[in-house]
Amino acid sequence: MQLSRRWFQSPTLLFVMFLWSVSYAQAQDYSGSNVHRHHALRQFWRQLEQELNDEIDEFEPAWFHHKHMSGDWAGQRSALATWGIVPTLTYVSHLLGNPSGGRSRKIAYTDNLGLDIEVDVEQLARWRGLTFHVSGSLRSGRSLSKVAIGNTFPVSNLFGGETLRFYELYVEQSFSHDSVSIVIGRFGIGDEFATSPLYSLFLNNAIDGNPLSISLNIPAFSAQSYPVAQWGIRTKAQLSEAWSVMAGISNGDRTVSRNHSHGLDFAFRSNADIFTIGEIRYHYGHDDDATSLIGNYKFGGYYDAGPFLDLYYDRDGRAYITSGLPPHKAQQNYGLYFLVDQQIFREDDETHRQGLIPIVGVTFAPADINLFPFFFLAGIVYHGPILGRDRDTLGVSIAYGQFSHDLQRSQRLAQPVNTVQRFELAIELTYQYEATPHLILQPDVQYIVRPGGTGRIPDALMIGFQIAINL
């Protein structure tokens, strides 16, 4: 069933304008272990979850210690918080350049202004366990990977959807003392599944948010990752203190990401993909124990109803490159992933939870219809790496994607002169410097091996800088 866009656009636009106007009276802050679900806040998840117990230097203004740049707005944020309304506005920008390698030498700038509003309906209207969430983004800039480097794993996670866009609109209902919850509405499936708050440290899109192989293999997944949302439902059950399971099903409309609709196309298209995903989680350690080494282990799988074009065979079982027939069309696709982050060293600091956390992730998918049947990511994250900089974070990562062998077979038939895509590798070193709790400065260096996978483009060095502000 397809609903008329015209019916939705006018009242929805007014609603967005209203939400934007009240964002300047923000509530105090987000808190809790689910901060990272709200994409625009991911750069601040540690700052928002921790208490600010550091002594204030007599020469520092109190403004330096606010979680929001604009403070409490004469008590208006706190007043909204008493009603259960928590709006926040964040700004993140990248200035990136490649001094060597790639197709050319250029500098590119991208930015994202994100608005998130959470309403605790239980606090506002005594509906127990119900929350309401709405968000949007405003993006601009250009992709350095597209205009200069020519690689597959974008060096900036901010590129995509360069326009004013309505993002999420959903309700979440919790039951049984929050051990069971259901989300219904328009949301990004990538904010819920196959992710970790630690991934938000990195700028390269191969890791930030989700393993990029899932989006490259499944267009329906990329069409429901920030800042694009789809209609869907997600259920979660906390089976014990350590174990939980989560499942989701959504409409995989591949056209909903187009910029000219600004996220206001609320149609539910019956001919679109049906995307389903499930995840089992194991949480190791105790968050309240100052000596506990925290770990998270996630195993998941997804299924998409298609269609997907075969990378080698035509409908008669021959190579489509030589037969001239269209590629075989498969009506289903699937994949598996396994993600781990496990702290192996923790400093004796109960306040800031400093320590070393290795991260590892792998994804698998069939080689006949997926660009990356195998993808691997790994890294280390250290909270508080420098004495006296307890709230800074250092990160080193590597992402490796192996192109499909079936794709390589087709490329050898079509273009035998060294244009076969074999693999791409991205290495990143980054440091998140907390100038204030609401201002993060982040120098970043990346090295791209075999951009585009063919070996014809020189390896590229990228040097950049990120600024993140919690307004």
Output DSSP code: residue 271. Answer: T
**CA-CA distance, 222 to 103, in Å (whole number)?**
26
Whether the predicted pLDDT of 57 surpasses 70:
no
pLDDT score of 286: 78
**Range 338-350 average pLDDT:** 88
Give Cα separations from 357 to 43, 130, 174, 362, 378 (angstroms). 17, 34, 31, 17, 11
**CA-CA distance, 8 to 59, in Å (whole number)?**
53
Whether the predicted pLDDT of 103 surpasses 80:
yes
Q: What percent of the chain clears pLDDT 70, i.e. is strictly above it?
A: 85
Query: What pLDDT, in 10s, does the model give residues 186-211?
Result: 999 999 999 998 999 999 999 998 99
Maximum Cα–Cα distance across the chain: 78
**Range 56-77 average pLDDT:** 68
> Which of 66 and 76 is assigned the larger pLDDT?
76
> Which of 270 and 284 is assigned the larger pLDDT?
284
**CA-CA distance, 278 to 284, in Å (whole number)?**
20
Query: What pLDDT, in 10s, does the model give residues 161-186?
Result: 899 999 999 999 999 888 999 999 99
Assigned CATH topology for domain 5-470: Porin (2.40.160)
Whether the predicted pLDDT of 416 surpasses 50:
yes
Neighbour-count burial of 182, counting CB atoms closer than 10 A to its CB (0-12 exposed, 13-18 middle, 19+ buried): middle
455 phi-psi bin (left φ>0, alpha ψ -120 to 50, beta other)? left
**CA-CA distance, 96 to 158, in Å (whole number)?**
11
Q: Indicate the pLDDT class of residue 127, thresholds 50, 70 and 90.
A: very high
Query: What pLDDT, in 10s, does the model give residues 233-274?
Result: 999 999 999 999 999 999 888 888 888 888 888 887 777 789
Q: Indicate the pLDDT class of residue 45, thresholds 50, 70 and 90.
A: low
What DSSP letter does each residue of 191-233 carry, written as one string?
GTSS--GGGGG--STTTSSS-HHHHHH-HHHHTTSTT--EEEE
Whether the predicted pLDDT of 132 surpasses 90:
yes
**Range 73-91 average pLDDT:** 87
Output DSSP code: residue 418. Answer: T
Angle at 308 between CA 305 and CA 314, to 5 degrees: 135
pLDDT score of 66: 75
Is residue 263 within 8 Å of residue 271, measured between CB atoms? no
**CA-CA distance, 19 to 453, in Å (whole number)?**
44
Whether the predicted pLDDT of 347 surpasses 80:
yes
Is residue 212 within 8 Å of residue 375, measured between CB atoms? yes
**Range 295-310 average pLDDT:** 94
**Where is 419: in which H helix or E strand?**
none
> Which of 80 and 34 is assigned the larger pLDDT?
80
Query: What pLDDT, in 10s, does the model give residues 316-339?
Result: 999 999 998 999 999 899 999 999
pLDDT score of 47: 62
**Range 203-227 average pLDDT:** 92
> Which of 298 and 415 is assigned the larger pLDDT?
298
**CA-CA distance, 89 to 115, in Å (whole number)?**
5
SS3 406: helix
Distance from chain centroid for Cα 280: 19
Q: Indicate the pLDDT class of residue 64, thresholds 50, 70 and 90.
A: low
Whether the predicted pLDDT of 277 surpasses 70:
yes
Determine how many CB atoms are found less than 10 A away from the CB of residue 99.
11
> Which of 410 and 353 is assigned the larger pLDDT?
410
**Range 45-63 average pLDDT:** 53
* Cis amide bond preceding 326, omega within 30: no
Q: What is the mean pLDDT of the chain?
A: 86
pLDDT score of 144: 97
397 phi-psi bin (left φ>0, alpha ψ -120 to 50, beta other)? beta
Determine how many CB atoms are found less than 10 A away from the CB of residue 139.
20
Is residue 414 within 8 Å of residue 451, measured between CB atoms? no
Q: pTM to 2 decimals?
A: 0.88
**Where is 181: in which H helix or E strand?**
strand 180-187
Tokens standing for 168? 């999420």
Query: What pLDDT, in 10s, does the model give residues 144-166?
Result: 999 999 999 999 999 888 999 99
pLDDT score of 8: 34
**Range 385-400 average pLDDT:** 93
Across 119-133, 145-159, 278-292, least confident range: 278-292
Whether the predicted pLDDT of 120 surpasses 80:
yes
**Range 389-400 average pLDDT:** 94
Given the DSSP bridges, would you call strands 85-100 and 107-120 parallel, antiparallel or unpaired? antiparallel
**Range 298-310 average pLDDT:** 94
Is residue 313 within 8 Å of residue 320, measured between CB atoms? yes
**Range 429-441 average pLDDT:** 93
Across 389-393, 424-428, 460-464, least confident range: 389-393
| Domain-wise residue ranges, the chain | 5-470
